[in-house]
Amino acid sequence: MTKFMDVHRGMVGITAEQLHEAHDADLAIQAEEGVTFEQAWADPDDGVVYCLSEAPDAEAVQRIHQRAGHPADEIHKVPLIV
């Protein structure tokens, strides 16, 4: 398992409630791909959302995000953490 940071753009004006709903939609199906979404951070002004997860590979992360209705624009494997 590896950590991944993925990025969603075009989310200008996202609210706390919308972020929670999107995260909950991921959590509801993440186990089907062996993914664990850990945390997400949103910048409503610039419309950027960052999601940290642990997953078998980037494709598994993307499949969950796609099925939940919000495909990621970038997914980066982040094996180095400090």
- 16-29 helix and 58-67 helix, angle to the nearest 10 degrees: 120
Which tokens sit at 18?
């919308």
- By CB under 8 A, tell whether 9 contacts its own copies: no
Of 21, 65, 13, 63, nearest in space to 42 by CA: 13
Question: x/- site string to its own copies, residues 27 to 66, per CB under 8 A?
Answer: ------------xxxxxxxx-x-x-x--------------
DSSP state of 71: -
- Which one among 8, 23, 63, 65 touches its own copies, defined by CB under 8 A? 23
Binding positions for its own copies, rule: CB under 8 A: 3, 5, 14-16, 19-20, 23, 39-46, 48, 50, 52, 76-82
